[in-house]
Amino acid sequence: MNLPNSIRLSDPAYPVFEIDHPTCTARVALHGAHVMSWKPVDEDEVLYLSPDAVFKEGKAIRGGIPVCWPWFNAHPTDPEMPPHGIARTRFWELAEAGESGDGVKLRFEMSDGIWNASLTVKAGAELEVILETRNPNEIPIVVSGALHSYFSVSDIEQVRLVNLEGADYLDTVGAPVQRIQKGAVGFAGEVDSIYDSSSSVLLVDDLSGRTLLIEKGGSPSTVVWNPWAGKSAALGDLPDDGYLKFCCIEAAIANDKAVIVMPGSSHVLSTRISVEE
Ligand code: TA6
């Protein structure tokens, strides 16, 4: 496929779409249809990519926006299946590539058995990622998942997430406990929380002076994750102090919020990220 001027394909052995457009630069791997980087013009990098990330089929890239699909976390019935689904560890197919004055658009497709999806990335002054689950089968399918975005922060202990106040959430650090969020979300230890919320979230980073707006569509759950020191050290593809530099805010469909997609219909899970003035 011919690529527009603002998209260049890197090393064919591990294809990455390198975007250089007047509105932004960005990098998207064919492996996982994975957004690895997005930097709007005159802004700092928005996403965190681990310097120890492994770029290999069968392994998920640590950082950026892993596409967790068609299930979130463990498979609902089969413990042999990989966590967070099949989409983030394999190569997708490029179906469309275009550009306009607003930015670039890349669309990827994948299918495997009953599973069929398209993933659209629109990168410009804003970043939009749209995951469409299609059901071409004759039986209903049940889908969950997440756009597992890793956001770059100046110091994890100094950032806060606004707009989850009052939301019910499952705190999964240790034995799972149901709680209600009081005030802004801060980070002073490991966080692994599944919020019942379809609202947008603000990531306020006072040290850098940057606030990100994370909007969601088709997402009844917001997952917030930071592994903190212990789990960071245990993850081979993250530096020991890597946890200081990111937090994950995920447009998700988790646990009992799994969606039934009827034959011939589809479900769209999306996120839009912008830098607030
Ligand atoms: O989305 C949160 C979470 O499920 C955490 O429980 C944590 O394990 C994280 O994702 C990372 O999972 P991964 O399989 O990428 O190591």
What is residue 44's predicted lDDT score, i.e. its pLDDT? 97
Rounded to 5 degrees, what angle do the CA atoms 260, 148, 53 make?
A: 135
- Record the tokens describing residue 270, joined without a space: 């999306």
SS (H, E, C) the chain: CCCCCCEEECCCCCCEEEEEECCEEEEEECECCEEEEEEECCCCCCECECCCCCCCCCCCCCECECEEECCCCCCCCCCCCCCCECCCCCECEEEEEEEECCEEEEEEEEEECCEEEEEEEEEECCEEEEEEEECCCCCCEEECEEECCEEECCCHHHEEEECCCCCEEEECCCCCEEEECCCCECCCCCEEEEEECCCCEEEEECCCCEEEEEEEECCCEEEEEECHHHHHHHCCCCCCCHHHHEEEEEEEECHHHCEEECCCCEEEEEEEEEEEC
Residue of 48, 72, 192 best suited for mutating to test ligand 1, as the one with most atoms within 8 Å of CB: 192
Regarding the beta carbon of 254 and ligand 1, being less than 6 Å apart is answered no
Q: How far is the CA of 83 from the centre of ligand 1 (A)?
A: 8
167-194 average pLDDT score: 98
pLDDT-derived band of residue 11, with 50, 70 and 90 as boundaries? confident
Alpha carbons within 13 angstroms on the beta-carbon side of residue 21 total 28
pLDDT over threshold 80, residue 277? no
What lies within 8 Å, CB to CB, of 11 at 6+ separation is none
pLDDT at 197: 98
Question: pLDDT of 54-113, one tens digit each?
Answer: 999 999 999 999 999 999 999 999 999 999 999 999 999 999 999 999 999 999 999 999
The reported pLDDT for the residue numbered 164 is 98
Does 192 contact ligand 1 (Cβ within 6 A)?
A: yes
- Tell me the two tokens of residue 181: 């969020």
- Residue nearest (by alpha carbon) to ligand 1 atom 9: 225
CB 126 within 8 A of CB 273: yes
> Percentage of residues in the chain with pLDDT exceeding 90?
98
**pLDDT for res 236:** 97
- pLDDT averaged over every residue in the chain: 97
Residue whose CB lies within 8 A of the most ligand 1 atoms, among 61, 148, 195, for a mutation test: 148
Token pair 């275009």 in the structure block, residue: 98
**pLDDT given for residue 24 in this prediction:** 98
Residue 18 in tokens: 């390198």
Give the model's pLDDT for residue 80. 95
CB-based contact 159:203 (threshold 8 Å)? yes
Band (pLDDT 50/70/90 cuts) for residue 12 is confident
Give me the pLDDT at residue 98, please: 98
- At 121-134, the pLDDT tens digits run 999 999 999 999 99
Please report the pLDDT score of residue 250 as a whole number. 98
Looking at residue 148, its pLDDT comes to 98
Is the full-model pTM beyond 0.85? yes
> Quick check: is 148 catalytic?
yes
> Is residue 132 annotated as part of the catalytic site, yes or no?
no
Q: What atom in ligand 1 is closest to the CA of residue 146?
A: 1
Q: State residue 1's pLDDT score.
A: 85
